[in-house]
Amino acid sequence: MKLALISDIHANLEGLEATLDDIAEQEVDRVVCLGDIVGYNANPGECIALLRRADCLCVAGNHDRAVAGKITTESFSTTAARAAA
C-alpha cells in the first residue's frame, strides 16, 4: 500500500490543493494527515471539507485539538493561541 503523508496544513487552502493535486499524480492508495489542519491561515473550513472529500484519514494535531476545546493554548505562542481562538 502506497501512502501519502501530509501535515501542518494550517488552513492554507491553496497549498493543500496543490499538494493533493500532486498526490493525485502519484498513484497513492491513501492520504493520511498527521494533524494541524487549522490555525494561522484563512481557510480552515475549506481545508477540512477538502480533506473529507478526499477521504483522507486524519489524526488531530495540537492546533486541531485546541480549536475543538480538547486542550488549552497555554503552551502556544501568542500568535498560535490567537489563531486557535
Q: pLDDT tens, 19-46? A: 999 999 999 999 999 999 999 999 999 9
Q: Return the C-alpha cell found at 58.
A: 486524519
Query: Tell me, what's the pLDDT at 18?
Result: 98
Under 8 Å CB-to-CB from 31, ≥6 apart: which residues? 3, 4, 6, 20, 23, 51, 54, 55, 56, 57
Closest CA to 11 of 44, 36, 33, 58: 44
How many C-beta atoms lie closer than 10 Å to residue 72's C-beta? 11
Average pLDDT, the chain: 97
Residue 74: which H helix or E strand, with range?
A: none
- Indicate the domain borders of the chain: 3-84
CATH of domain 3-84: 3.60.21.10
